[in-house]
Amino acid sequence: MLGRLKQIVIKELIQVLRDKRTRFILIGPPIVQMLVFGYAASYEIEHVPTAIVDLDHSQESRDLMSRFTASRLFDVRTQGTDSRQLASLIDEGKATVGLEIDAGFAQRLRKGETAPLQVIVDATNSNTALIASGYVSQIAQGFAGDYQKDRIARIAPQLMERMPSVRLEARPWYNPELRSRWFFVPGIIGNLTLVLVVLLTAFAVVREREIGTLEQIMVTPIRPAEFILGKTLPFFLIGVFDITLIGLVGSLWFQVPFRGQIGVLALGSFLFLLCMLGVGLLISTVSATQQQAMVTAFFFIMPAIIFSGFSFPISTMPAWMQWCSYLIPLRYFLVVLRGTYLKGVGLDVLWPQMAAMAGLGFALLTAAVLRFHKALD
């Protein structure tokens, strides 16, 4: 048995590695996609196009405007004097945020009254609008606090020493600088591994059926179990290679720290690869051609990425979708990746995710093997 299994594995590796396009697919796209996602995928929003209309022309209004122009969060492209300009700039897409300082802004502040600041936000992209509105609120509150302190210092300096204050000291754990890249890069490892292993496994079996060699192999002394194991083992090794390659790029190029244990990550990767091999085999049993395998694979891949929590929090999904996410192995693997990379946690914390992937992997492989036997019959 071992001799026949060895020959199948060698045959599959030779078939994969002798093709220049396949060799490129194993190395080129993962690295390119890691670099693209690492630089492009980010929750951080900077240089928001901004237009400001100052109708007050006072020292206070100029001080407020200077806080926006000096911030890297906003890119003040226009400082007009007509409020009608804001609507046209936002409609034309030249500005995402519009600020209007009404006449009498400084006069209200000097009287101790509330001075309104009108903020118009293009909410076509709700995420950008929400974050930009938060940035505006932070700058406006900072200006209000500083102005209030200066006013009290001028009117009643003796109160400054007795004025109570509350200072917020934030202590972000695991990601002190709040870099979204540290969140995305470990997730990319799981996403790219899912795509590569599922597609390669599905195509390998379907290709044998499509060109007519599957029937020839089945009339040889090779048993179906040996054939299935020989077909999947090479892609398991390829998956291990890609996880290692992408992980090294993330740690060395993007400087994402790895604080956990290699053994825990290796165990999680092993269980995740078993799940993906099962999915690939299942797809191969319902596909007659490589085109059908491609379409069926993406029918699984896209929902898997969405339900995994890679970019959208699972807690914000409807309840029935949250229940569906428990059937996605990538959901658990992302917890393992981010837990080992950023938090440095071990099996005492990650064992539920390991158990879930083990259960899903066993179920998927069992269903794939049974379905494959039925397809052969």
Per residue in 330-346, pLDDT (tens digit) is 999 999 999 999 999 99
- Asked if residue 350 has pLDDT above 90, the reply is yes
Exposure string of 70-107, with b = 16+ CB inside 10 Å and e = fewer, is ebebbbbeeebeeeebbeebbeeeebbbbbbbbeebbe
Query: Would you tell me how many other CB atoms lie within 10 Å of the CB of residue 68?
Result: 22
Query: Would you tell me how many other CB atoms lie within 10 Å of the CB of residue 303?
Result: 15
> Which whole number is the average pLDDT over 102-111?
86
- Asked if residue 122 has pLDDT above 70, the reply is yes
Model confidence band, residue 161 (pLDDT cutoffs 50, 70, 90): low
Sketch the domain layout of the chain as residue ranges.
Answer: 2-41+179-376, 48-159
Q: 296-305: per-residue pLDDT in tens? A: 888 888 889 8
Those residues whose C-beta lies under 8 Å from the C-beta of residue 251, and which sit 6 or more positions away, are 257, 258
**What is the structure's pLDDT at 5?**
63
Those residues whose C-beta lies under 8 Å from the C-beta of residue 30, and which sit 6 or more positions away, are 192, 196, 242, 245, 246
**What is the structure's pLDDT at 273?**
93
**What is the structure's pLDDT at 336?**
95
Dihedrals phi, psi of 79, to nearest 5 degrees: -125, 95
Q: 162-171: per-residue pLDDT in tens? A: 767 777 788 8
Model confidence band, residue 219 (pLDDT cutoffs 50, 70, 90): low
Find where tokens 């006069």 sit: 107
Least confident of 4-8, 36-40, 78-82, 258-262: 4-8
Q: 36-84: per-residue pLDDT in tens? A: 877 777 777 888 899 998 888 888 888 989 999 888 889 988 887 777 7
> Which whole number is the average pLDDT over 113-129?
86
Is pLDDT larger for residue 131 or for residue 222?
Answer: 131
- Asked if residue 319 has pLDDT above 60, the reply is yes
For residue 149 the two structure tokens come to: 């302190």
Domain 48-159 is in which class? alpha beta
> Which whole number is the average pLDDT over 99-114?
86
- Asked if residue 2 has pLDDT above 70, the reply is no
Percentage of residues in the chain having pLDDT higher than 70:
87
**What is the structure's pLDDT at 335?**
94
Helix axes 290-307, 180-211, angle to 10 degrees: 160
Is pLDDT larger for residue 92 or for residue 212?
Answer: 92
- Asked if residue 152 has pLDDT above 80, the reply is no
**What is the structure's pLDDT at 3?**
62
Model confidence band, residue 270 (pLDDT cutoffs 50, 70, 90): very high
**What's the pTM value of the predicted model, to 2 decimals?**
0.81
